[in-house]
Amino acid sequence: MRHTMTALLLLVALIGAACSGDDEPATTSIPSTTLGALDTTTTSAGDTTTTSTSPPAGVFTVPDYSIVERIEGEDGDIVVVQLDPNSYESLDSEDLINVVADVVDRFPPIGELHIVDSDAAAASVLIDSPSASEAAELADHYFVRLEEGARIVFVNTFSDAGQVILGS
């Protein structure tokens, strides 16, 4: 019993010495940037649901876009995204990668994604054999697709950018 009491007293003294508070508190500083959340608006009309996003005033993250079609699939949904041409002055491949990443992050699961910037291109992008006028519209207004949930393939005017793996 005496050994137990001695061991317990020694343990209390050791804990008290360890928590004396003589050491400086350990801190780590990491610079960070916080962006405001995007405003999201969802509207439904019949069987169609449209989700639109826009950045808060003063913050530019990605061009404004709407999800104009979403088809559920076992390996992720097929999504058609329409950019608002009034929300940007020019586009480059980096802008399109940012839109793809934003849509994939915010609206999972996505297996296939197509980015266009016109109503006619949005209506034509999933057609297997588009007509000549539909193909001409796609040539001017269809920019990028996401395949297998990760491979970004640039098309038409952006085809020189090739392919990129999302997240790499």
DSSP count for the chain of H helices, then E strands: 4, 8
User: Which of 63, 118, 113 has its CA nearest to residue 91?
Assistant: 63
User: Which of 150, 72, 155 has its CA nearest to residue 115?
Assistant: 155
**DSSP code, position 58:** T
Tens-level pLDDT at each residue, the chain (168 residues): 666 767 667 666 667 666 666 555 443 334 434 445 556 666 666 666 666 666 555 454 689 999 999 999 999 999 999 999 998 889 999 999 999 999 999 999 999 999 999 999 999 999 999 999 999 999 999 999 999 999 999 999 999 999 999 986
| Distance from C-alpha of 119 to C-alpha of 127, rounded to nearest angstrom | 14
Alpha helix locations (H) across the chain? 2-18, 93-106, 119-124, 132-141
Neighbours of 73 (CB within 10 A): 13
* 58 and 38 Cβ atoms separated by less than 8 Å: no
- Beta pairing partners, 51: 42, 67
